[in-house]
């Protein structure tokens, strides 16, 4: 689990670096699929990761709007701030947490119940899904996307300690 979070964070940092080559207009341009623009997608990735971890910790959900984070620098800062909460939780993840139950009350009053393991896996694959969208948009801009390859990143030696 920790290895996949570390993978996502490495790839996310590479996408931030990749974005430095684009204009603000290109970063904010509405695109087909996803949640809108490249920056909005990066914001969404950070937001979803932190929001789910906060729910597992019994803390209130994140209620910020992308309108307050419309620059690459602002999203990087938000990510760094949120990582202060997310990384210790991931670092302390252990098998005994796997089957804890999260009961989440939906706006319509329905109560969803999921195991913490399901939620953690959702957070991981959610980011991977959106990274795939960023890769498609990169090719539409005639730019080489960030590699999604997990192999060769040295992750077996970078487990969070």
Q: What is the pLDDT of residue 157?
A: 66
Beta strands in 30-152 (DSSP E): 101-105, 111-115
77 contacts 70 by C-beta, under 8 angstroms:
no
Q: How far is 86 from 82, CA to CA, in rounded Å?
A: 6
- What global pTM score does this model have? 0.91
Q: What is the pLDDT of residue 33?
A: 83
CA distances from 122 to 4, 43, 128 (A): 12, 17, 10
Where are the chain's structural domains?
2-22+36-157
CA distance 23 to 19: 8
> What b/e string do you get for 12-27 counting C-beta neighbours within 10 Å, with b at 16 or more?
bebbbebbeebeeebb
SS3 100: coil
Q: What is the pLDDT along the chain (161 residues), one digit of tens a residue?
A: 899 999 999 999 999 999 999 999 999 999 998 789 999 999 999 999 999 999 999 998 777 899 999 999 999 999 999 999 999 999 999 999 999 999 877 788 888 889 999 999 999 999 999 999 999 999 999 999 999 999 988 887 655 55
Q: Does 3.30.1490.20 match the CATH number of domain 2-22+36-157?
A: no
């Amino acid at each position: 689990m920790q290895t996949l979070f570390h993978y996502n964070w490495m790839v996310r940092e590479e996408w931030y670096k990749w974005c430095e080559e684009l204009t603000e207009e290109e970063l904010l341009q509405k695109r087909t699929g996803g949640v809108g623009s490249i920056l909005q997608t990066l914001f969404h990735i950070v937001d979803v990761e932190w929001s789910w971890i906060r729910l597992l910790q019994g803390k209130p959900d994140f209620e910020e709007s992308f309108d307050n984070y419309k620059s690459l620098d602002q999203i990087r800062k938000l990510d760094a701030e949120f990582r202060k909460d997310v990384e210790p939780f991931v670092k302390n993840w252990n098998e005994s947490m796997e089957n804890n139950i999260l009961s989440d009350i939906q706006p319509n009053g329905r109560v969803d119940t999921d195991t913490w393991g399901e939620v953690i896996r959702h957070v991981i694959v959610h980011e991977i899904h959106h990274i795939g969208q960023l890769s498609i948009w990169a090719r539409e801009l005639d730019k080489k996307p960030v590699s999604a390859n997990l192999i060769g990143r040295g992750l077996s030696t970078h487990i969070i300690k």
